[in-house]
Structure 1
């Protein structure tokens, strides 16, 4: 009978069931997306491994009919990674990269669809200058890890003469196993992942539980009518469960539809530089079945739980009288139980073993569920003590006093999300220093650097970089080594070559002219310079042994009265040791053992200065690799987890907004006759609109305050678990809270047009 009422109850029943189904469907869609995440990660990893072309074998195999020389020429364009490869086929059986049908000839390239679109747009003008190849095809999906990945394979000649693993290597197959064993998962990072999943999924569960209770007051009135014709209490509860079951089953269908639509949209979207193909989003069958069983079961249980305190009699519903005061003691047991589960792991940190994932999950769940239990009591206790005010305030407060539970249910989801976000933000901020390392690079002196490969004159790189748009300073410092023997020297020191202006970047010079040589004092790591300076003859680029055939050792006679210079931090933050040479002081024939390094200072007023530098480097040599400097660098795992949190938070935020809007529309629909009656009595629409805003503002304020308290408590406990000092970044806490409030504000504003349509006297009509 309950299922029949849901689908055959006229327009009223259909609207109620549809709203419930939409609310449940949005949650189901996000749950299905979550169940598809393991497959997404697995497919991305498998495809990345399948196209792996690195080798760390520094004794390359000889050329054969099945070998390929491949060079890594990855780049960056306006913050987006561009995966690039140069290839030279050495035989008819050379391995073909995944996603390619044929090898591109020299001067041609095969590109990803996203890169082809970018190159054809106005925004890809500078990138086109960097890739002077003719496009002859596109990379298939099997060769890409995401729909928005920028990647290309270009043909080249002469790579076999420049083999230098791992960047330029000779391979016979793609996807060779990684020679380095996988490292163990960091316990703190595992804790971050566990808490992140719980925090992101809890609001989904709360919204599903809220959606199945849409139309609760009208439903109770219908159940009272059923009591009048002979149904007993158990019957009406089963009928109510049947209605909830019908709405949840329809929600499963809609959720599957939403998921399929979102699956296609995901193939065209990029969130925080992460993109996927629709084929990646295949939910795990076992997890999908679990969702299909858990959602209807939860709908029935939530409905029966909601009716536990409602006495439905033949002549009405007792709940319309003043409800009894909610009890507090059992609501405090939930967060207390959560803290008790987390307590054994306080101070465990990253070096004292792994965290118990069951205790972590259970503890965080109980703390967040505790918000949903505490918030109705808080709202009821506060609104009961609110003082009278204007008409709109009185209307809002009286409504909240009569149905504080309904108002709390609307806010529960956003409160749980904000509390989890605050706790996660505290945890990320607290442990960030452990996964963020200082590079030592002085970004005030240089913003980019270029390593000059063998065979390219450093003077040419310096000259062309100086003429590049957006470059205001160029410091060229070439580096090598010197020893007391031609071979297997026991004493070694660094050699730095540059003009006087460049040498002053690494040392304090008494005076300097071309032809001068200096011995450095005060280096960070050096114990041989002064001893070598007393030798009569030194050897530049000493060989490591007889097998070192590439070394070109050149003798250098130490001049008498060698000048001394005090070392100072260079642009990389290191105090160098060894010897400083001006260009003309360098012995003839020693240039082959000197490696060039060019440091670049950029003009911040030139928007694409970095892109101009990369274009100049590509024009000089495709293997020239400009590096962008930063003062700090984060570990890859930590950065990946933070990116995953951002993507998940964006999805949950979309669900929060959509579900809140559906919930608000359902509340307005239920109050349609009341609003129409107030308008018929002469209440101004402005007053009613303000009353609706107050009805939203009061619970959300209380909910966010409770969320801040629980979030700060959970964050402090998590930080103590990681053996990290508890620090509160109030700017982040307030921004998270404000973010939640802004979502509610936007949803409220979007609900105003339907509210104005409902405030008409003809809303009193009935069928």
Structure 2
């Protein structure tokens, strides 16, 4: 019986929502749009697992190069394949050179036929880039004829840049083995059959993922909760009429919950529509070099149903909670009387409980095993919910003490004093997002050093490095780079190793061949001319050179220490004129030992036993200088990509989590802006008659506009201040949990708060045109 009564009252509320005239429809529409934006983002979140699985599946289906794979012999079903990817400006291009060895050679996914020599098949995005003015430099590097496009099954995203190129020069580089020496060439019999093992996430990275999800989803829940309360004041006045015709207070609240339920149901419809439209748009977008096909975004049915149930239940519960302090009587709503002051004690319990859940994991670090996921999620959730609970109390306490000022200030302060809760609800989402962002920024900055390792390379002396393939004269290659625009200096070296025996030598030393100017960059020389040989003394971890550097000693190149095909070791006698040189740190960050040899001091027969390395110092003020170097390198060897030097390397997993955070934050910021705008428009609509009355009595429009800005600025300032405190506290606790020293990057904190303030300011400015339209005397008309 009780359930039947609840169902009848809720149904009556739904009827009121859709049959309440123009005002009712506008309120339901605004609620539906606000809830719909949140639902769309929640649906996107539920689709993430399937999107990640789809991308991983596509990547696995086309996997090919695996250096741990078992060697296979040449057959009619094998394919020689080389990694020939490149970089254009800041975009990575996946590339493969292919040479089928028989009629049954496997085709990569998405490719209908093998491209002939001089042809390539490309992804649609790469085809578009090559055909544009922007791709002029890239066309010089990839001049092959486009013979087709790669299908969707062979790509992980619609904006991926990729190509497969026909080749006939991979056989000499394969040497009949699975992986050729010095080259990224493999022989495979099928795609997608490569096995690779991945290490489990360490606990700190898992902690990062958990916190990222909570921080990104919490503002969405806050906005949905705020959206179902749109038009609350007018709704309560309508409900007073129900009391006049005999309904009790319980029935009135259930009818109100029914109205909220109607708005939430419409929000689910809108949210589904927004999601479907956004899914199609996602196919043409790229955020932080991540793109997805629309088919990837397929929400799990179970999770989608869960989202619907949670949103509907939240609409009812939030409405009943909001009406707990409102007395709806037959003759009106008792809300205009001075309400009781908000209590602080229970609001403090929420963040304190959150800290209590996180405290047992303080000091655990990555050596203490995985963090308890439930405690992490619950603790972070309670701390962020504490922001939404504390902010109304802080706004009420502060605005109650604000004094006199200009007319605009007084209008704003008086409005905030009468409805501080409404103002706080508008800012809650921003405050939660900023608090979470500050905590995450602190955590990322604190643990970044654990996932970032210095390379030791001197990026001031050298910015790019090029490997010269065997058989290519080093001097000619170096000359090409010297003629390349933007290259300041070229350091070219031929490198190899010598031993005291023909095979299985016990003593070995490095040999570096270069002109005098290049040798001075890697060792300390007093004097040098072509034909000199130097033995380096004092190099770290080099104890073999002294024994091998005695004049007249015979040493052997390729004495079992170089990779690749076995050749007859070449003998070389250390000349009697060998000089001494002192070790110094070279551009790679190491002290180079062994022999330093000028070109005339070595016989021509030794040249094939050496590998060429070219180090480049660039004028980075020249536009696209890196791509100019890559184009030159492609004329020397189209497979080997020049290496960009960096002072440090960062973990790929850490980078992927960071990228995921940026993508999610971009989506949440878009939701924040859109939802705030809807909320602001709803507030202005609620006060349409009040604004019109003030204009009719002679209040200047500029004064009213300024009062609206003050009404937004005061809660925003308080919300961002609270968010900073909570964010710093949460960040400090997370750092202690990861056993990392607490450091605060104040520039990042200011950036986070500034971003939140900028979003609110932009929304406020966008709401000024509707505000000016509402400030007309004809707004006093009523039906």
Helix, strand or coil for the counterpart of 1:269?
A: coil
- Structure-1 separation of matches of 2:313 and 2:564: 72
User: Residue in 2 aligned with 1:15?
Assistant: 26
Q: Identify which range, 529-538 or 666-675, moves more after superposition.
A: 529-538
- Tell me whether 10-19 or 621-630 shows the greater mean CA deviation: 621-630
Contact in 2 for aligned 1:447/1:600 (Cα 8 Å): yes
Question: How big is each residue's C-alpha offset from its partner over 1:555-608, in whole Å with a ceiling of 9 and x where there is no partner?
Answer: 111222521111111111111111100001113311111010000111122111
Deviation at 1:6, TM superposition (A): 0.8
Q: Deviations over 1:36-85 (max 9, x none)?
A: 11111111111111111113258742221100001101100011001111
Match of 1:503 among 512, 519, 526: 519
After superposition, give the CA deviation of every residue in 1:392-418 in whole Å (9 maximum; x if it has no partner). Answer: 100000000000000000000000000
Unaligned runs of 5+ in 2: 1-11
Give 1:457-536 correspondences, 5 Å limit: 457-534=473-550, 536=552
What does 1:694-709 correspond to in 2, within 5 Å?
694-709=710-725
Q: Equivalences for 1:175-574 in 2 at 5 Å?
A: 175-178=192-195, 180-534=196-550, 536-544=552-560, 549-574=565-590
Q: Is the 8 A contact 2:551 2:578 kept in 1?
A: no
Taking the aligned partners of 2:339 and 2:248, their CA distance within structure 1 comes to 22
Q: 1:43 matched to which residue of 2?
A: 54
**Cα displacement string for residues 476-533 of structure 1 (whole angstroms, at most 9, x for unaligned residues):** 0111001111110001111101000000010110110111111112212211111211
The residue number in structure 1 matching 2:3 is none
Equivalent residue, structure 2, for 1:169 = 186
| Residues 554 and 587, structure 1, Cα contact 8 Å, conserved in 2 | no
CA distance in 2, matches of 1:169, 1:144: 21
Alpha-carbon separation, structure 1, partners of 2:697 and 2:461: 74
Give 2:17's aligned residue: 6
Segments of structure 1 that go 5 or more residues without pairing to the other structure are none
Q: Residue 555 of structure 2 contacts residue 574 of structure 2 at CA under 8 Å; is this kept in 1?
A: no
Residues 380/531 of structure 1: CA separation in 2 closer, same or farther (3 Å cut)? same
Q: CA deviation at 1:534?
A: 2.7
Aligned CA distance change for structure 1 residues 546 and 149 (closer, same or farther; 3 Å):
closer
TM-score if structure 1 supplies the norm length?
Answer: 0.98
Aligned length: 766
Distance 1:58 1:97 in 2: 18
Mapped contact 1:67–1:95 kept (Cα < 8 A): yes
Is residue 43–residue 299 contact of structure 2 (8 Å, CA) maintained in 1?
yes
- Contact kept, 8 Å, 1:466 with 1:473, in 2: the verdict is yes
Q: CA deviation at 1:541?
A: 2.3
Q: CA RMSD, aligned part only?
A: 1.3
Find the aligned partners of 2:638 and 2:557 in 1 and give their Cα distance: 27
Q: Which residue of 2 aligns with 1:753?
A: 769
Distance in 2, matches of 1:15 and 1:546, equals 78
Q: Distance in 2 between matches of 1:238 and 1:21?
A: 19
Report the 3-state secondary structure (helix = DSSP H, G, I; strand = E; otherwise coil) of the residue aligned with 1:157: coil
Task: Give the distance between the partners of 2:173 and 2:562, measured in 1 at CA.
Answer: 22
- Give the TM-score taking structure 2 as reference length: 0.96
- Deviation of the 1:625 alpha carbon: 2.2
- Contact 1:673/1:763, CA 8 A, preserved across alignment: yes
Secondary structure in structure 2 of the residue aligned to 1:589: helix
* Contact 2:431–2:723 under 8 Å retained in 1: yes
SS of residue matched to 2:164:
strand
Equivalent runs, 1:713-752 vs 2, <5 Å: 713-752=729-768
User: Which residue of 2 is the match for residue 97 of structure 1?
Assistant: 108
277-286 vs 561-570, which moves further: 561-570
Contact 2:501 2:556 in 1 (8 A): no
What is the CA–CA distance in structure 1 between the aligned matches of 2:606 and 2:686, rounded to whole Å? Answer: 88
**1:618 aligns to what?**
634
What is the distance in 1 between the residues matched to 2:238 and 2:539?
A: 86
Aligned to 2:127: 116
Q: Is the 8 A contact 1:69 1:90 kept in 2?
A: yes
- Return the offset for 1:549: 4.7
**CA pair 548-328 structure 1, distance change in 2 beyond 3 A:** closer
The Cα offsets for residues 719-763 of structure 1, whole Å up to 9 and x where unpaired, read as: 000000000000000110011000000000000000000000100
Does the CA contact (< 8 Å) of 2:497 and 2:561 recur in 1? no
Which residue number in structure 1 is paired with residue 8 of structure 2? none
Q: 1:681 to 1:555 in 2, by over 3 A?
A: same
Counterpart secondary structure, 2:314 = helix
Q: Do 1:552 and 1:593's aligned partners in 2 also have CA atoms closer than 8 Å?
A: no
**2:557/2:572 contact within 8 Å kept:** no
Summarize the alignment of residues 620-639 of structure 1 with structure 2, pairs less than 5 Å apart.
Answer: 620-639=636-655
Contact 1:452 1:596 in 2 (8 A): yes
Number of the residue aligned with 1:688: 704
